Structure 1
Amino acid sequence: MLRNPVGLSYAVVALLAAMIAADAGLFAAALDVRLLMAGDLNDHPDPAGFAHLGVDVVAVLQVLIQLALSVVFIIWFFRVRKNAGVFAPDLHRGGPGWAIGAWFVPIANLWWPRSVAAGVWRASRRDPYGDGKGEGESLAVLNWWWVFWVLTDNGSLFATAVYDDADTVEEFAVGSGFLMGAAVLDIVAALLAILFVRRLTSMQHAKATGMIPAA
């Protein structure tokens, strides 16, 4: 049975936009740390506490947004996978439950969810068994989103570890630089995720209603 994914897609996009805003906040907070460490620390009564405060506040906000985003995204992903099973049941490996479970398998979650998403994408095309050369039906958006998602997922862990282990002014400067880079990566990944969610939702809605997918 088909279920409309449009409402859920709006929630996913809204949370992705919130994450972009939080990433911009992290970039600004990390830049503040970097500039502070390059200046005269004696001018501030508590340079260490001041340096950490902005980054810590934004980090907590990011965790809360990420938790909400993960839940809503997986619900949306499960729904579009079930719809794809109606469109073309023979294009998928495993049942719809793997649209949820694939994210929680260590190591395999670096490629398995992308494989599930590719099957959903192909099934949602106007011609599921064609070459996918129709307008907007290429897997390019999916592939680019997945590359940046893997990069930012691992890059953020590395940047946070470097910053948290910093003890000296120089180490804080380096760590804040890594945090700024991780924030930029995450913004790009979130923008690509918005394109992926909107395009796939549009394809499924159009296919279900017999319309040509919107550009």
Structure 2
Amino acid sequence: MNEKEPPVAPQAPAPRPVRGAARLAVVALALAGAAWAARAVWHIRLAMAGEPASGPPDQGDGVHRPLNALENSYHLVDSAGGAVTAVCAIVFLLWLDRVRDNARALSGAEPRYPYLWLFLGWIVPVVNLWIPRGMVADVHRSVFPDRRLPAVVNWWWGLWLAGLAGGVGLIYADSTDEVIARAYTGVWPLLAADLVIVAAAGTAALMVRTLTAAQQERIDETAPANS
């Protein structure tokens, strides 16, 4: 009688290349930072020009006066910055998805947060204060449980939250015309928010490079064993 052969354990998926996704994320973050720096320049230009005698663009009760050339150009800068930020968000999430998959392949452990939170974690109120950072931290800790979390992760997250605060940062509570009126009457909060967001983009790029380099180091270490 033939003995039954023991079941073969499924082979863990091999880590996927991550350097390309990291480079794209760094470039996208640099462009997003440049877009917000350009917005800051236009805020300064508006403040220096001063509010026209005709008053702010949005004059209340649904009345909007024609925009001048500088105000029109700010609308273009604002729209371009929004588009660049949206593309940056997509590229960053693609990088995060890649390093999450690699962390699972290297550690053999499932991610702490299910896949759906990769997207919902940024937009669901309250939990968006910690889940995105938790996903990034999980990528590092699952592969390097004995290493301290790089400080740049906390710097990035602190700056990101500061950029969200106050209704003048990443998510404006006012329309573009109302932001123009803010620049005329009190530009400093706008400039402070712009500076924080530019710093957050730069810190995020450094974080991407740091976590990618660490993960690639582990991939290179395990490559001979997997070949």
Q: TM-score, normalised by structure 2?
A: 0.75
Which structure would you say has the larger Rg? Answer: 2
Take 2:43 and 2:67, find their aligned partners in 1: how far apart are those partners?
Answer: 13
SS in 1 for 2:121: helix
Aligned length: 197
Aligned twin of 2:130: 111
Residue 32 in 1 paired to residue 45 in 2? yes
What residue number does 1:14 align with? 27
Query: Which runs of 5 or more residues in structure 2 are unaligned?
Result: 1-12, 55-64, 223-227
In the alignment, residue 159 of structure 2 is paired with which amino acid? Answer: F
Provide the secondary structure at the position in 2 that maps to 1:165.
helix
Aligned-residue offset at 1:82:
1.1
Q: What are the superposed Cα offsets for residues 37-77 of structure 1, whole Å, 9 maximum, x if unpaired?
A: 18x869xxx99523422321111011111111111111111
Please give the root-mean-square deviation of Cα atoms over the aligned residues, in Å. Answer: 2.9
Evaluate the alpha carbon distance shift between residue 106 and residue 187 of structure 1 in structure 2; reply closer, same or farther with a 3 A threshold: same
Asked if the contact 1:160/1:179 (under 8 Å) is kept, the reply is no
Greater helix proportion = 1
Aligned with 1:95: secondary structure?
A: coil
- CA 1:177 to 1:24, structure 2 compared with 1: closer, same or farther past 3 Å? same
After TM superposition, the score normalised by the length of structure 1 is: 0.79
| Structure 1 residue identity aligned to 2:38 | G
Q: How many Å separate the matches in 1 of 2:47 and 2:117?
A: 43
Aligned pairs (5 A) from 1:39-188 = 49-90=68-109, 92-124=111-143, 128-130=144-146, 132-133=147-148, 138-154=149-165, 155-156=168-169, 161=174, 164-165=177-178, 171-188=182-199
4+ long deviations beyond 6 Å: none
1:10, CA displacement in angstroms? 0.9
Distance 1:89 1:95, change over 3 A: farther
| Matched-pair contact (CA < 8 Å) for 1:26–1:58 | yes
Q: In the superposition, relative to structure 1, how do residues 102 and 47 fare at CA in structure 2: closer, same or farther (>3 Å)? A: closer
Cα displacement (A) at 1:99: 2.8
Structure 1 unaligned blocks of 5 or more:
none
Deviation by residue 1:3-48 (Cα, 9 ceiling, x = unmatched)? 111111111111111112212211111101000118x869xxx995
